[in-house]
């Protein structure tokens, strides 16, 4: 039985989610504030976290940042009343896997939970690499650390996700839709243009000359592939 942790300070939403998820045969844990939720992440090791952003004692943003910095890769679905694009981008870049705004549709929420569990299964089956080395660039996918030569690089979790999937299929073309499905997990937000933007950011950090890439190559009209150089 899959175990879901709900961290939400609205009592009515918390109770409603718990009842509906238990009806769907999930084991459900609950917390009404951030620090309690953070402790439950470590103590109970849930399979998925539904996380409100505006929480007492530790915000959802801070909780997500903290567990990702510790290498905890449990899928996180952010659930919040704050639906502006900058808030969504911030949450996703801090390590959230999906994002829904209140009020929300319960059938859609359940569908997104199922999609996150499918993605997790695909990632486990895909034997993703723990590390990538190309030229003088090194990425540690477990610690979310990267460097080029002796310089430490600042990279978002989504950049690591894109790069890790490309590394797992090195030499093969990965389409934009595949990257969206595996790294972001849904197609309403973001768009394929977001994939292109992440590739551009990665090239600026990996390549000696981003305008003439050797490692992250574009396959026009299809997607991208990672090669060892040339």
**Strands 27-31 and 174-175: what pairing?**
unpaired
| Chain mean pLDDT for the chain | 88
pLDDT value of residue 36: 96
Print the domain residue range for 62.
3-125
76 & 92 share domain: yes
117 & 145 share domain: no
- Whole-prediction pTM: 0.61
42 & 113 share domain: yes
32 & 111 share domain: yes
Based on the structure, what is the number of domains in the chain?
2
161 & 72 share domain: no
Average pLDDT for residues 39-50, to the nearest whole number? Answer: 95
Quote the CA–CA distance of 122 and 116 in Å, as a whole number: 10
Residues 45, 50, 56, 59: is their CA dihedral positive or negative?
positive
30 & 102 share domain: yes
106 & 164 share domain: no
pLDDT digits (tens, 9 = 90+) for 59-114: 999 999 899 888 788 899 998 876 666 777 777 777 888 888 888 899 999 998 99
Quote the CA–CA distance of 139 and 133 in Å, as a whole number: 7
Q: Is the confidence at residue 155, as pLDDT, over 50?
A: yes
219: left (phi over 0), alpha (psi -120 to 50) or beta: beta
Among 125, 144, 177, where does a domain finish? Answer: 125
111 & 219 share domain: no
* Greatest pairwise CA separation for the chain in angstroms: 58
The CATH number for 22's domain is 3.40.50.2300
117 & 7 share domain: yes
Q: Is the confidence at residue 126, as pLDDT, over 80?
A: no
Class of residue 150 by CB neighbours under 10 A (exposed 0-12, middle 13-18, buried 19+)? exposed
| HSE-CB for 27 with a 13 A CA cutoff | 7
69 & 170 share domain: no
Distance between start and end Cα atoms, the chain: 48
101 & 135 share domain: no
User: Across 24-28, 53-57, 72-76, which has the greatest mean pLDDT?
Assistant: 24-28
**Which regions of the chain does DSSP assign to beta strands (E)?**
3-7, 27-31, 48-51, 76-80, 98-101, 131-134, 137-140, 145-148, 151-153, 174-175, 216-219, 223-226
**Strands 145-148 and 137-140: what pairing?**
antiparallel
Lowest-pLDDT range, 47-61, 158-172, 189-203?
189-203
pLDDT value of residue 187: 45
With a CB cutoff of 8 Å and minimum separation 6, the contacts of 117 are: 2, 47, 48, 75
| Residue 138: CB atoms within 10 Å | 15
Quote the CA–CA distance of 83 and 189 in Å, as a whole number: 12
Average pLDDT for residues 174-193, to the nearest whole number? Answer: 73
Q: H or E stretch including 208? A: none
pLDDT value of residue 34: 95
The CATH number for 145's domain is 1.10.10.10
């Amino acid at each position: 039985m899959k175990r879901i942790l709900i961290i939400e300070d609205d009592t009515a939403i918390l109770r409603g989610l718990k009842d509906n998820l238990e009806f769907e045969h999930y084991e459900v844990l609950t917390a009404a504030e951030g620090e309690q939720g953070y402790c439950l992440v470590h103590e109970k090791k849930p399979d998925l976290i539904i996380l409100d952003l505006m929480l007492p004692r530790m915000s959802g943003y801070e909780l997500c940042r903290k567990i990702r910095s510790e290498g905890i890769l449990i899928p996180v679905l952010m659930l919040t009343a704050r639906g502006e694009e900058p808030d969504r981008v911030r949450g996703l870049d801090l390590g959230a896997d999906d994002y829904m705004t209140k009020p929300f549709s319960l059938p859609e929420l359940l569908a997104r939970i199922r999609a996150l569990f499918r993605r997790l299964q695909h990632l486990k089956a895909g034997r993703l690499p723990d590390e990538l080395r190309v030229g003088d660039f090194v990425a540690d996918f477990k610690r979310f650390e990267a460097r080029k030569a002796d310089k430490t690089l600042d990279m978002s979790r989504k950049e690591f996700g894109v790069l890790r999937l490309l590394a797992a299929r090195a030499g093969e073309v990965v389409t934009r839709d595949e990257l969206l499905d595996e790294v972001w997990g849904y197609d309403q937000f973001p768009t394929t243009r977001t994939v292109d933007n992440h590739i551009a950011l990665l090239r600026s950090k990996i390549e000696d000359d981003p305008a003439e890439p050797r490692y992250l190559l574009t396959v026009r009209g299809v997607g991208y592939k990672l090669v060892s150089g040339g």
